[in-house]
Structure 1
């Protein structure tokens, strides 16, 4: 039995020990992109609707870069505002293919609010139009936010994976200059479900179905610590994920 005041709930998966931050999973954080999100720039700029896309997306290796490039090639100008830029200059910031290109202050896939084909992520829109999950189309960092996993190898060769909410420090040097961070702002703690429910799909994609099922089973046995870091924490619907 897990104590009510224990900050983490653990699931032992053999070679990996998963530790879940109860405070984050029990809070009612939700993505408020397009509904008051001020972005991650040095000034609050909700009107731009750049969300957390203003610095582009960092790709998780060459395989992910190839997948994103292949899917981007299927997007029509009707759903991809910067289709022409992509065709001429490519979707990556340079030849290393480690980051998506930034166009006029935001990721190349970020359609602007006045774009007739729909504001938000063109990859997200393309996935929805194809009847597929946006998490299968978008860079992993995009659909995982605000979930963060810290990995640590113990001396006994057991890997410890700590699942928690993304924090300002996780943005590195860029975080110091941010005027607003959604996981620290009470504005974003307005969801109607706990993160463990609203981001259930994302959590399962990260930890695997078996670990996710065990997490939910154990969660029901404890009273979650639901006080937010600076508000409270829950998730995104398909529309929310368009940022």
Structure 2
């Protein structure tokens, strides 16, 4: 089945953050109860047809802020050749790891991971002795921690998208709206429409045994906090019991 259209009916829920009265979550139940799952290395065609094995790692990862970069740097320092195929690319002449060896800046001055051989420097190619896939993901598995700790924010969040919007009510009061939804092509900006393939709207990736809100619980708790996640999870479970076919994600085989 080809990739579904970007515009279709969705079911949403809004609720006040139990941990912050000035914050309201607006969550896409259609996406969060869908059967999407990451199929990297298991049918993923990559965002560019010239690099199918690189998945969505071809452009490198932009850091959300300085704290994100510093957190990742602590884990990068723990990578050795057994985990990281391109580690030699990040060393100076004396064999010492240097930040400029794995961090780059884009045309707008935003900091991101370097691209080496057509993909993020932390992408280990097929056949590598370090193992295929993300070196930082592999390190998380080796250290028995979740990859939300080791990988850049954008990497572990995708394809969940968190947005922020200031909202003014008719009575003049305001609140911060936090959106939790699908990171579809549009989340990449104008260039997202030029991607050769994308997973969130493809039937090929809607093969998960568990719904997104279950399989991505750690990611969602990190983004929302446990109290808000518990409210969301209850709403998702209710939605699964009562939703109509109209609320199914069109890429879901059940649709």
Q: What residue is the counterpart of 2:156 in the other structure?
A: 143
Deviation at 1:129, TM superposition (A): 1.1
1:109-164: CA deviations, max 9, x gaps? 00011111211111111122112221101001000111012211012220111211
Shift in Å, 1:217: 2.4
Residue ranges of structure 1 left out of the alignment (5+ in a row): 234-243
Q: Give the superposed CA RMSD.
A: 2.1
Q: Cα distance, 1:174 vs. partner?
A: 2.2
1:101 aligns with 2:114: yes
User: Where has structure 1 moved over 4 Å in runs of 4 or more?
Assistant: none
- Aligned 1:66-85 pairs, distance under 5 A: 66-85=70-89
Cα distance in 1 between the residues matched to 2:119 and 2:197: 16
- Alignment partners' CA distance in 1, 2:24 and 2:56: 30
DSSP 3-state at the match of 2:43: coil
Checking the alignment, whether the CA contact within 8 Å between 1:184 and 1:230 is kept in structure 2 is yes
1:215-234 residue pairs with structure 2 within 5 A?
A: 215-222=232-239, 223-224=242-243, 227-231=248-252
Instruction: Give 5+ residue unaligned stretches, structure 2.
Output: 1-8, 93-99
Higher strand share: 2
Structure with higher Rg: it is 2
- Provide the residue aligned with 2:30 in structure 1: 23
Q: Please, what TM-score do these two structures have when normalized by structure 1?
A: 0.86
TM-score, length basis structure 2: 0.82
The structure 2 residue matched to 1:119, chosen from 117, 132, 145, is 132
Contact 2:10–2:30, Cα closer than 8 Å, also in 1: no
Counterpart secondary structure, 2:113: coil
SS at match of 2:131: coil
Distance 1:63 1:22 in 2: 30
